[in-house]
Amino acid sequence: MSYVVIVTKPSYALAVLPALRRRHPAKRIVGVLDGAASLLGFDYPRGLSMSDYPFVSEPAWRPSPERMRQSVSYEVTDGTRVVLPDDPFALLRHADTIVCADGDWYGGAANFHNLMVHVGGDSLARRPHEMLRFSSSMPSAIARHAEAMGTTLDDDFIAYRDGGLAKRRFDWCFAVNSQGLLGAAYRKATGRTAAVPIGKYGLQLLYSMRDSSPLTEGRLLGTMSRWPGTGRYASEDKPTIWMGSPMSIAQIFEDIRQSGLVEHDEAHGSARTFSLTDAGRRFLDLLHPDCRDPDLPWRMREWQEGGKSSEPRIDRYIRTFFGKQKRFAGR
């Protein structure tokens, strides 16, 4: 009997697998590391013409070779952890029981659902799978939660799943349209032939840098962790919001740093400062003014909380945002 557990961090595997091993001593306990970005990546459509934009659809997925290389599968036997060479999808296809060990947040629940669809179709995804909830990786806390596991049909998991899938829908639609429409502006501004390397939050950070450069990396990351927006969505107990997550903001900054749109200056003491290049300013000038949306992180939170009911608002936003850019570029 194989008991395959989906975890998002190695530290979770070290804590979760031994607890489940003690609970199920007769079963083979295997952990598959599915990082926060998931083993699956977007399968971008090919051959789109300008008349296809703005483009709105459900996301399409495929295994990500890079993430597959980073993934690790473990088996716990007699208190020891053994790294397995097995393909993670093969382990899931042959599992008797699949456990979601990180389904109590939007990304983890959505990633688990998409993995199940990829492995066994919608029927496997909608089947009740065990879910281990935990707020601490301490062995004692894990052991307690292992004795009272929920399932992926519980209301809280479904809410996280649907909220995570709403975010994935936005990210997919933004990425596809960005490559076609923002990509044209990026290539014109920089002379590069590569795809546009910045995402929804990187774009908003560029606008912020245009107003307040030069800034140190620490200041920029701090701004992203305490993003004020316009104040429209702020409240007394929530005046700011993360633009991204604690795990993603460094990568967002690295993407724009490598884009050719920002540069650093060594002349301001020991801390390097960053500001827009001429190409960065040209890029923003080539975009419709409404591409600047400081409240996007707040909208994303609302859409996640709304789950499936947010899809019409997401689709309308995408059509409006990129419709304006398409008309602006075609002047």
Within 13 Å of residue 288, how many CA atoms lie on the same side as its CB?
17
pTM passes above 0.85: yes
Q: Is residue 304 left, alpha or beta, with left meaning phi > 0 and alpha meaning psi from -120 to 50?
A: alpha
Question: Shortest CA distance to 60 belongs to which of 167, 168, 166?
Answer: 168
> In the structure encoding, which two tokens stand for residue 266, read together?
């060594």
- Residue pair 308/58 in contact by the 8 Å Cβ criterion: no
Q: Residue 269: which pLDDT band, with cuts at 50, 70 and 90?
A: low
**pLDDT of 296:** 98
Q: Under a CB-based contact definition with an 8 Å cutoff, are residues 329 and 319 in contact?
A: no
Question: For 75-109, how does the pLDDT look when each residue is reduced to its tens digit (9 = 90+)?
Answer: 877 667 788 888 889 999 999 999 998 766 898 89
**Residue 93: its H or E element:** helix 88-93
Residue 122: phi and psi, rounded to 5, are -65, -30
Average pLDDT on 196-223 reads 92
pLDDT tens-digit map of 120-137: 999 999 999 999 877 676
Beta bridge partners of 28: 2
Domains and CATH numbers, the chain: 2-35+71-153 (3.40.50.140), 169-329 (1.10.460.10)
Q: Is it true that the peptide bond before 246 is cis, omega within 30 degrees of 0?
A: no
Contacts of 232 (CB under 8 A, 6+ apart): 295, 298
Cα–Cα distance list, 136 to 65, 75, 125 (Å): 31, 22, 26
Residue whose pair of structure tokens reads 């008991």 in the numeric block = 3
From the list 146, 105, 112, the residue with the least C-alpha distance to 127 is: 112
Q: pLDDT at position 208, please?
A: 95
C-alpha span between 34 and 13 (Å, rounded): 11
